């Protein structure tokens, strides 16, 4: 029976090569997208799932709110873990630990030193109760005293290459040349994906002996460092809100007078352990790690995969039901030969499954290329080999079955509904399946494709808008380089600037701090007194020499540049001007800003410029000369360059000339020249990734929909060959025939547009709300996408209908 | 008695009027009968065979098959009876184009839970008997009409039905091929298979043991028991 079905299935697939091809390609596209996205979801969701009762594990984090702003810190004040142990109930395990990057580990016996070995942590036995590690030697209790360390097997093998775990116990390491630590245990590397990247666990008691040790001793509630971590496991049945209430109480009790006076609040929050991997704001312990794909992005990707799958299934449903009459005879005969409806149903579902299986094979190949194309979206640990993991295989199997059912069930029902007598009497039903259903599905397909087209066009438009938007300062032919952080000295920088200025291709040079737009910023709190009211606000500070203003071509609305590079005078932007309550820039001149208890005058106001992406509103900014120079510290660690545009387009001679000068001054440092326009383009990385993703989703959904359309058009024209022949004999023109055959489909594509346009418009409108500066939701985006889709549909239908309409009518009539 | 029809009516409603396809129809068929049903085109022969073959419903009357009331059967029971006891031969052969001769003949057995080795033996017998062993791997499109109909008959017989229904089995065949099929029917009948055939041709009807004439869904002469 099975062999018989298989044979007939294969023969059917081979006989309708075009349909089979269309179905396999459409399904394979949806499947490969689902495989890749499923893999991503699986990968990101399987972090730290192997710890016991990890559902009850939370990290305690800090949130600070003030009238001006709000921010979070993944750490807690050092005394909180102690307070939690003593004052709180409902906690099964309280594990406070402190992360650290000790810059050197030494093995005194072998005399070997290891530079920057990687993140360590000061922890105690509670850490190992909370997180699962396999102990190869020693016990967690070994961390009970100061100057003890537990290593992973890998780390131990690096420090003590000759010794096995048991032999390593009792050996000594010296950190930072000053902190000795005896090895108290060896653990195996974690058994699953984890964000706990630590490989060396020093006993908590050792923490007081380090650089930050005085913090541990002072146990100050007033300072919070992200390296001071607190994890807890709630007792079974404990309501997290009850724990939260206790945390709120502690936070309240520790509020300072200053906090109360300025309405600053600190709260401690419970972050579920499962959120750790996804929360880009609170971060994990691996600073170099790309942030995990966020949950909304995963959801978005999931939707795209789902849509592509649906589109593929729709093609299958449409083509199989449209051509059902071709199989009606077989079904009628089988029924008279004694087949039950159930057997027929199974036969057709089996065929669909076979087709899906073939599509799956193709999709594995496609997945490989997709993984490659989207490498930038994917975490480093994710690769093609993950497909071999059992849960992934199970998911793939379930997906295939699901898709086969989704695609095959309705056509199978339609097919098996045929009554044998009607078939045998040659009254074969001319409209098998409901054409209305087919129409609805086609509309759905094209609406999805249309939405993707509109979204792609508009996201592209927004990116172009942001990149080309006037940033409020000069961005073309501007480059900057920074002096090495630790070796920086004003003398050297000034010398370097002078030397670089001598290069003929360099038009101008300016010393300063960060460029006007960059990823790093420093913000202080400024106070402004106006009519005896105090206006407190954050103020982003930029350091710039007098040349800095000219080079970046800031537009002064009032006032002037500071008189020299050390005088403490503010040049503010319009945003700050408005915060301190002025309309007219002239009025702000010579008013004082108080910062760090020093009053300094405003001497200039510049037009607003964008310090980062156009997504964010421009905040208050002040530019100052080198304001810390009196404290033997210079803010001028960047050299900004105005480069001549070389006639032949090649900058590399200029760059090497600059590098040469740089190496003379800083021989050991790495040279890196950044171009302003590239820096700005870099701000829009997320948007460009989104655009790329949408572009692909668009391309694939259009491809699937058009394939489906092609299949349907071929089917209809084949069925109407005779009618076309007769009409031609009666004198219909090619254009009339073309219109006749395409009209129905054009109407469908049109309806799809009418559905898609408002949906896309609404979605994109809300997307744009996230941007402070946004492009218009122009009507032409919609028209262009609608016209494009219709043109494409016309092209497909036109090619096919013309081919049929051009046939000699006598031929087609004779074949009937 | 193999089957019995009592006062069968079948109609369709067209434009509010009943159009009778079968009207006041009685019939009794004994085990071993070879009945020919004659009548002009449109007289209801096919409709009658479909009703007898349990492929089609009727609106009134009683149908007993081996004493069992078919008119009271549920769909499942009817389907089971049909597949166990009845074989069909069609004017248009109705072979499955995607299956070979061998597979076409084998198909009814697949729906009757016959073991694979038994199936092999039965199909081989059948191929042998009909002299089409050499054609077993060909597809229907590669055979002549007469050969296709042979396969059709072989397929109808493979399940050892008590009743063979043949709807103008030679309608598409030339006279030599017709004669071969009719002789085959005679042989089968002699071996005990009950046959009811619909035909236009007096010559073919003469192969049967008795002939009934149908006109506008009724017998033109009262059937003899
Ligand atoms: N489902 C139906 N609806 C309407 N008329 C039908 C239907 N089935 C058969 N008929 C009509 O019933 C009559 C008998 O048909 P049929 O049994 O095929 O006759 P025969 O096989 O003797 O040529 C014909 O006139 C045919 O058109
Ligand atoms: Mg007929």
pLDDT tens per residue, range A330-376: 888 888 888 888 888 888 888 899 999 999 999 999 998 888 888 87
User: Ligand 1 atom 3: the closest Cα is on which residue?
Assistant: B12
- For residue A378, pLDDT beyond 90: no
State residue A714 phi and psi, 5-degree precision: -60, -45
Q: Does the Cβ of B44 fall within 6 Å of ligand 1?
A: yes
- For residue A521, pLDDT beyond 80: no
Confidence at residue A815, expressed as pLDDT on a 0 to 100 scale? 44
Nearest residue to A9 via CA among A418, A323, A330, A347: A347
Average pLDDT rounded to a whole number, residues B19-23 = 93
The answer to whether A145 touches A205, Cβ cutoff 8 Å, is yes
Question: CA A299, CA A767: separation in Å to the nearest integer?
Answer: 15
Q: By CA distance, what is A8's nearest residue in B?
A: B98
Strands A638-643 and A592-595: unpaired
Collapse the DSSP code of B62 into the 3-class scheme (helix H, G, I; strand E, B; otherwise coil) and give the result. strand
Residue B182 to chain A, least CA–CA distance (Å): 22
Q: Tell me the chain B residues in contact with residue A425 when contact means C-beta distances shorter than 8 Å.
A: 46
> Is the Cβ pair B96, A333 closer than 8 Å?
yes
Q: How far is the CA of B91 from the centre of ligand 2 (A)?
A: 8
The domain ranges of chain A are 1-47+292-433, 57-275, 454-466+684-816, 484-668
Question: CA A41, CA A297: separation in Å to the nearest integer?
Answer: 10
Backbone angle region of A645, left / alpha / beta, with phi > 0 → left and psi within -120 to 50 → alpha: beta
Residue A326 to chain B, least CA–CA distance (Å): 11
Q: Does the Cβ of B43 fall within 6 Å of ligand 1?
A: yes
Confidence at residue B101, expressed as pLDDT on a 0 to 100 scale? 94
> Is the Cβ pair A330, B98 closer than 8 Å?
yes
Inter-helix orientation angle A490-501/A652-665, to 10°: 150
Nearest residue to A311 via CA among A446, A413, A451: A446
Q: pLDDT averaged over chain A?
A: 86
Q: Does the Cβ of B91 fall within 6 Å of ligand 1?
A: no
Question: CA A715, CA A318: separation in Å to the nearest integer?
Answer: 11
Question: CA B180, CA B186: separation in Å to the nearest integer?
Answer: 10
- For residue A730, pLDDT beyond 80: no
Q: What is the dihedral of CA B94, B98, B104, B109, to 10 degrees?
A: -110
Average pLDDT rounded to a whole number, residues B159-168 = 92
Q: Tell me the chain B residues in contact with residue A339 when contact means C-beta distances shorter than 8 Å.
A: 111
Q: Tell me the chain B residues in contact with residue A333 when contact means C-beta distances shorter than 8 Å.
A: 94-96
| Residues whose CB is less than 8 angstroms from the CB of residue A391 and which lie 6 or more positions away in sequence, other chains included | A42, A46
Residue B72 DSSP one-character state: G
Token pair for residue B97? 């184009």
Q: Tell me the chain B residues in contact with residue A4 when contact means C-beta distances shorter than 8 Å.
A: 99, 103, 106-107, 110
Confidence at residue A648, expressed as pLDDT on a 0 to 100 scale? 67
| Residues whose CB is less than 8 angstroms from the CB of residue B53 and which lie 6 or more positions away in sequence, other chains included | A336, B82, B86, B88, B165
Question: CA B160, CA B172: separation in Å to the nearest integer?
Answer: 25
Provide the residue count of chain B: 225
Confidence at residue A470, expressed as pLDDT on a 0 to 100 scale? 82
Nearest bound ligand to CA B45? 1
Angle at A537 between CA A536 and CA A538, to 5 degrees: 140
Does the pTM exceed 0.90?
no
Of the partner residues B82, B90, B99, the one whose CB lies closest to the CB of residue A338? B82
- For residue A767, pLDDT beyond 80: yes
> Is the Cβ pair B108, A343 closer than 8 Å?
no
Q: Which domains does chain B have, with CATH numbers?
A: 32-55+84-213 (3.40.50.300)
Nearest residue to A748 via CA among A314, A317, A445: A445
User: B133-140 long-range CB contacts below 8 Å, 24 or more apart?
Assistant: B135/B101, B136/B100, B136/B101, B136/B102, B137/B100, B137/B101, B137/B102, B138/B100, B138/B101, B139/B97, B139/B98, B139/B99, B139/B100, B139/B101, B140/B93, B140/B95, B140/B96, B140/B97, B140/B99, B140/B101, B140/B104
Q: Tell me the chain A residues in contact with residue B78 when contact means C-beta distances shorter than 8 Å.
A: none
User: B129-136 long-range CB contacts below 8 Å, 24 or more apart?
Assistant: B129/B154, B130/B154, B130/B184, B132/B101, B135/B101, B136/B100, B136/B101, B136/B102
Strands A570-573 and A598-606: parallel
Average pLDDT rounded to a whole number, residues B30-56 = 92
Strands B194-199 and B34-38: parallel
Average pLDDT rounded to a whole number, residues A673-687 = 85
Q: How far is the CA of A561 from the centre of ligand 2 (A)?
A: 104
Residue B94 to chain A, least CA–CA distance (Å): 7
The answer to whether B80 touches B112, Cβ cutoff 8 Å, is no
Which tens digit of pLDDT belongs to each residue from B170-214? Answer: 888 888 889 989 999 999 999 999 999 999 889 999 999 999 999
The answer to whether B35 touches B208, Cβ cutoff 8 Å, is yes
The answer to whether A674 touches A640, Cβ cutoff 8 Å, is no
Which tens digit of pLDDT belongs to each residue from A561-582? Answer: 999 988 889 999 999 999 888 9
Average pLDDT rounded to a whole number, residues A277-281 = 80
In which band, very low, low, confident or very high, does the pLDDT at A200 lie, cut at 50, 70 and 90? very high
User: What separation in angstroms does the CA of A563 have from each of A383, A546, A622, B146?
Assistant: 58, 8, 16, 111
Of the partner residues B50, B98, B112, the one whose CB lies closest to the CB of residue A12? B98
Q: Does the Cβ of B41 fall within 6 Å of ligand 1?
A: yes
The answer to whether A412 touches A345, Cβ cutoff 8 Å, is yes
Confidence at residue A4, expressed as pLDDT on a 0 to 100 scale? 73
Q: How far is the CA of B47 from the centre of ligand 1 (A)?
A: 7
Better-scored residue on pLDDT, A103 or A511 = A511
| Residues whose CB is less than 8 angstroms from the CB of residue A524 and which lie 6 or more positions away in sequence, other chains included | A538, A539, A541, A595, A596
Alpha helices in A567-684 (DSSP H): 574-579, 585-588, 652-665, 676-683
Q: Does the Cβ of B46 fall within 6 Å of ligand 1?
A: yes
State residue A582 phi and psi, 5-degree precision: -110, 145
Counting from 1 in the atom list of ligand 1, the atom nearest the Cα of B47 is 17
Confidence at residue A271, expressed as pLDDT on a 0 to 100 scale? 94
Confidence at residue A816, expressed as pLDDT on a 0 to 100 scale? 36
- For residue A53, pLDDT beyond 50: yes
Residue B206 to chain A, least CA–CA distance (Å): 26
- Optimal mutation site among A332, A336, A343, A419, interface B, most CBs of chain B within 10 A: A336
- For residue B154, pLDDT beyond 60: yes
Question: CA A606, CA A626: separation in Å to the nearest integer?
Answer: 18
- Optimal mutation site among B88, B103, B110, B158, interface A, most CBs of chain A within 10 A: B110
Confidence at residue A545, expressed as pLDDT on a 0 to 100 scale? 93
Question: CA A585, CA A572: separation in Å to the nearest integer?
Answer: 10
> Is the Cβ pair A1, B110 closer than 8 Å?
yes
Which tens digit of pLDDT belongs to each residue from A381-401? Answer: 787 878 888 888 888 899 999
Which tens digit of pLDDT belongs to each residue from A112-148? Answer: 888 878 788 999 999 999 999 999 999 999 998 999 9
Confidence at residue A635, expressed as pLDDT on a 0 to 100 scale? 84
Inter-helix orientation angle A80-87/A240-253, to 10°: 120
User: What separation in angstroms does the CA of A260 have from each of A33, A263, A337?
Assistant: 53, 5, 89
Q: By CA distance, what is B84's nearest residue in A?
A: A338
Collapse the DSSP code of A804 into the 3-class scheme (helix H, G, I; strand E, B; otherwise coil) and give the result. helix
- For residue A487, pLDDT beyond 70: no
The answer to whether B29 touches B3, Cβ cutoff 8 Å, is yes
In which band, very low, low, confident or very high, does the pLDDT at A433 lie, cut at 50, 70 and 90? low
Instruction: State whether residue B111 sits within 8 Å of chain A by CB.
Output: yes
The neighbouring-strand residues paired with A302 are none
- For residue A735, pLDDT beyond 60: yes
- Kindly report which listed range (A196-200, A226-230, A258-262) carries the lowest average pLDDT score: A258-262
Confidence at residue A687, expressed as pLDDT on a 0 to 100 scale? 82
Burial of residue B169, with CB atoms counted within 10 A of its CB: 0-12 exposed, 13-18 middle, 19 or more buried: buried
Instruction: State whether residue B83 sits within 8 Å of chain A by CB.
Output: yes
Q: Tell me the chain A residues in contact with residue B159 when contact means C-beta distances shorter than 8 Å.
A: 338
Question: CA A598, CA B143: separation in Å to the nearest integer?
Answer: 106
Residue B48 to chain A, least CA–CA distance (Å): 12
The answer to whether A77 touches A226, Cβ cutoff 8 Å, is no
Which tens digit of pLDDT belongs to each residue from A84-98? Answer: 999 999 999 999 999
In which band, very low, low, confident or very high, does the pLDDT at A812 lie, cut at 50, 70 and 90? low
- For residue A288, pLDDT beyond 60: no
Average pLDDT rounded to a whole number, residues A211-217 = 77
Instruction: State whether residue B12 sits within 8 Å of chain A by CB.
Output: no
- For residue A557, pLDDT beyond 80: yes
Confidence at residue A814, expressed as pLDDT on a 0 to 100 scale? 52
- Optimal mutation site among A9, A338, A350, A418, interface B, most CBs of chain B within 10 A: A338
Backbone angle region of A533, left / alpha / beta, with phi > 0 → left and psi within -120 to 50 → alpha: beta
User: How many other CB atoms are there within 10 angstroms of residue B50's CB atom?
Assistant: 23
Residue A71 DSSP one-character state: E
The answer to whether A79 touches A217, Cβ cutoff 8 Å, is no
Which tens digit of pLDDT belongs to each residue from A136-195? Answer: 999 999 998 999 999 999 999 999 988 888 899 999 999 988 899 999 999 998 878 888
Which tens digit of pLDDT belongs to each residue from A644-671? Answer: 876 666 888 888 999 999 988 888 777 8
Question: CA A59, CA A272: separation in Å to the nearest integer?
Answer: 6
Collapse the DSSP code of A747 into the 3-class scheme (helix H, G, I; strand E, B; otherwise coil) and give the result. helix
The answer to whether A317 touches A441, Cβ cutoff 8 Å, is yes
């Amino acid at each position: 029976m099975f062999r018989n079905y298989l044979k007939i299935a294969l023969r059917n697939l081979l006989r309708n090569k075009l349909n089979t091809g269309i179905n396999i390609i459409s399904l394979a596209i949806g499947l490969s997208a689902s495989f890749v996205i499923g893999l991503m979801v699986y990968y990101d969701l399987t972090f730290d799932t192997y710890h016991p009762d990890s559902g009850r594990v939370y990290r305690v984090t800090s949130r600070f709110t003030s009238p001006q702003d709000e921010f979070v810190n993944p750490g807690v004040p050092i005394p909180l873990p102690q307070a939690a142990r003593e004052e709180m109930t409902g906690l099964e395990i309280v594990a406070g630990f402190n992360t650290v990057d000790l810059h050197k580990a030494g093995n005194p016996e072998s005399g070997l030193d290891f530079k920057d070995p990687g993140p360590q942590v000061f922890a105690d036995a509670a850490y190992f109760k909370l997180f699962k590690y396999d102990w190869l030697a020693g016990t967690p209790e070994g961390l009970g005293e100061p100057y003890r360390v537990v290593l992973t097997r890998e780390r131990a093998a690096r420090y003590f290459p000759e010794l096995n775990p048991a032999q390593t116990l009792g050996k000594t390491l010296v950190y930072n040349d000053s902190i000795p630590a005896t090895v108290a245990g060896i653990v195996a590397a974690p058994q699953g994906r984890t964000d706990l990247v630590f490989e060396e666990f020093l006993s908590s008691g050792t923490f007081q002996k380090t650089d930050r040790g005085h913090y541990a001793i002072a146990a100050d509630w007033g300072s919070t460092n992200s390296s001071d971590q607190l994890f807890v496991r709630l007792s079974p049945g404990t309501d997290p809100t009850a724990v939260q209430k206790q945390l709120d109480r502690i936070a309240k009790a520790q509020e300072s007078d200053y906090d109360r006076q300025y309405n600053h609040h600190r709260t401690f929050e419970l972050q579920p352990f499962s959120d750790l991997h996804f929360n880009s704001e609170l971060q994990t312990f691996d600073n170099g790690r790309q942030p995990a794909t966020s949950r909304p992005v995963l959801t978005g990707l999931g939707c795209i995969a789902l849509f592509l799958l649906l589109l593929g299934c729709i093609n299958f449903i449409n083509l199989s039901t449209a051509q059902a009459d071709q199989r009606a005879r077989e079904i009628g005969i089988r029924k008279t030969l004694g087949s039950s409806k159930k057997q027929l149903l199974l036969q057709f579902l089996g065929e669909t499954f076979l087709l899906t299986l073939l599509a799956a094979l193709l999709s594995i190949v496609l997945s490989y290329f997709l993984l490659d194309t989207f490498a930038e979206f994917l975490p480093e640990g994710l690769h093609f080999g993950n497909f071999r993991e059992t849960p992934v295989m199970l998911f793939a199997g379930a997906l295939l079955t699901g898709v086969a059912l989704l695609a095959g069930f309705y056509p199978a029902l339609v097919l098996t509904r045929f009554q044998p007598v009607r078939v045998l009497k040659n009254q074969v039903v001319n409209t098998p399946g409901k054409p209305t259903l087919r129409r609805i599905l086609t509309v759905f397909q094209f609406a999805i494709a249309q939405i993707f087209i509109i979204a792609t066009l508009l996201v592209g438009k927004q990116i172009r808008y942001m990149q080309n938007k006037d940033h409020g300062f000069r961005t073309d032919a501007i480059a900057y380089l920074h002096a090495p952080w630790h070796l920086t000295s004003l003398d050297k920088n000034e010398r370097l600037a002078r030397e670089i200025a001598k290069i003929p291709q360099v038009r101008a040079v300016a010393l300063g701090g960060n460029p006007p737009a960059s990823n790093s910023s420093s913000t202080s709190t400024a106070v402004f007194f106006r009519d005896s009211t105090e206006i407190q606000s954050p103020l982003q500070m930029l350091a710039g020499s007098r040349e800095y203003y000219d080079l970046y071509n800031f537009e002064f609305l009032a006032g002037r540049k500071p008189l020299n590079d050390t005088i403490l005078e503010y040049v503010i932007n319009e945003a700050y001007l408005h915060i301190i309550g002025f309309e007219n820039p002239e009025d702000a001149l010579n008013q004082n800003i108080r910062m760090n208890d020093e009053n300094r005058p405003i001497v200039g106001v510049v037009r607003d410029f964008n310090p980062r992406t156009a997504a964010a509103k421009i905040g208050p900014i002040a530019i100052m000369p080198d304001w810390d120079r009196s404290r033997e510290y210079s803010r001028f660690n960047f050299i900004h360059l105005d480069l001549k545009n070389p006639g032949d387009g090649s900058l590399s001679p200029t760059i090497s000339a600059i590098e040469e000068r740089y190496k003379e001054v800083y021989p050991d440092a790495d040279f890196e020249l950044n171009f302003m326009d590239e820096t700005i383009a870099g701000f829009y990385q997320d948007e460009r990734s989104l655009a790329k993703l949408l572009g692909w989703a668009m391309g694939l959904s259009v491809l699937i929909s058009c394939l489906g359309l092609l299949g349907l058009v071929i089917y209809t024209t084949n069925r109407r060959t005779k009618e076309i022949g007769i009409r031609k004999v009666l004198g219909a023109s090619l254009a009339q025939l073309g219109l006749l055959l395409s009209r129905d489909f054009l109407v469908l594509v049109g309806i799809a547009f009418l559905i898609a346009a408002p949906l896309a418009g609404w979605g994109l409108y809300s997307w744009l709300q996230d941007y402070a500066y946004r492009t218009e939701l122009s009507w032409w985006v919609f028209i262009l996408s609608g016209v494009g889709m219709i043109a494409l549909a016309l092209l497909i239908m036109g090619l096919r209908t013309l081919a049929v309409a051009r046939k000699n009518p006598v031929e087609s009539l004779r074949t009937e | 008695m193999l089957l019995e029809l009592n006062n069968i009516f079948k109609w369709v409603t067209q434009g509010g009027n009943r159009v009778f396809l079968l009207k006041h129809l009685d019939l009794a068929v004994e085990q071993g009968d070879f009945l020919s049903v004659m009548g002009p085109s449109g007289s209801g022969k096919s409709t009658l065979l479909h009703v007898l073959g349990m492929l089609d419903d009727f609106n009134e009357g009683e149908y007993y098959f081996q004493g069992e009331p078919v008119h009271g059967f549920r769909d499942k029971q009817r389907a089971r009876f049909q597949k166990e006891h009845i074989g069909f031969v069609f004017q248009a052969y109705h072979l499955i184009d995607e299956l070979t001769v061998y597979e076409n003949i084998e198909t009814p057995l697949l729906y009757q839970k016959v073991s694979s080795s038994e199936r092999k033996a039965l199909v081989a017998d059948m191929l042998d008997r009909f002299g089409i062993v050499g054609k077993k791997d060909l597809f229907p499109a590669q055979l002549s009409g007469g050969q296709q109909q042979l396969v059709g008959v072989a397929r109808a017989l493979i399940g050892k039905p008590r009743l063979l229904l043949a709807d103008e089995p030679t309608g598409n065949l030339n006279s030599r091929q017709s004669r071969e099929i009719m002789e085959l029917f005679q042989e089968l009948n002699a071996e005990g298979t009950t046959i009811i055939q619909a035909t236009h041709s007096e010559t073919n009807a003469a192969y049967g043991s008795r002939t009934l004439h149908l006109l506008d869904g009724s017998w033109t002469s009262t059937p003899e028991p």
